[in-house]
Amino acid sequence: MIGVGCYFLARRPASITLGKNVIINDFCYITACYGIEIGNNVSIAEHVSIRDYNHEFSSTNIPISMQGFSGSPIKIGDDVWLGRGVMIASGVTIGKGCVVGANAVVTKDLPDWSIAVGVPAKVIRSRKPDSVAENPDEIYSIKGSVQI
């Protein structure tokens, strides 16, 4: 599902790849010069910005708008939730099962199962219980529920 007002741009030869069951809420901005890969079962809240490039600005003799771009691909793993207003910077990998809090700016890789918040985003804890099986097809029982 893709919400209203979303903007996607992939400059050749880059691509934006969406996995299965991806939800992208309203007014998200996703642009690629190097490649963006979004895994399965990812939830992206409103006003999220994912951009794999940035303007060059090293020269003071050339207008910034004429200096070109630099960057690298972004990878977002399976079962990730990006909160409202999150910004993902160039070259970042967000691991499987991560949760990124609202308005965080992710500038560095996040390991699997991390919960990250802030500007810049910092991991505050892990959401992976020790007892979780590695097989995603397995059914987990939660506090007294019956496994079928």
106-146 per-position pLDDT tens digit? 999 999 999 999 999 999 999 976 655 555 555 444 444 44
The pLDDT of residue 114 is 96
- Cα–Cα nearest to 50, from 67, 27, 68, 69: 27
- Give the confidence band of 12 by pLDDT, cuts at 50, 70, 90: confident
Average pLDDT rounded to a whole number, residues 68-78? 96
Domain regions of the chain by residue span: 7-126
How far from 76 is each of 67, 106, 127, CA to CA, in Å?
A: 28, 11, 17
- Of the residues 11, 55, 108, 125, only one is catalytic, namely 55
Active site residue 47: no
Question: Is residue 148 over pLDDT 50?
Answer: no
25-70 per-position pLDDT tens digit? 999 999 999 999 999 999 999 999 999 999 999 999 999 999 999 9
147 near 131, Cβ under 8 Å?
no
Q: What is the radius of gyration, based on Cα positions, of the chain? A: 17
CATH placement of domain 7-126: 2.160.10.10
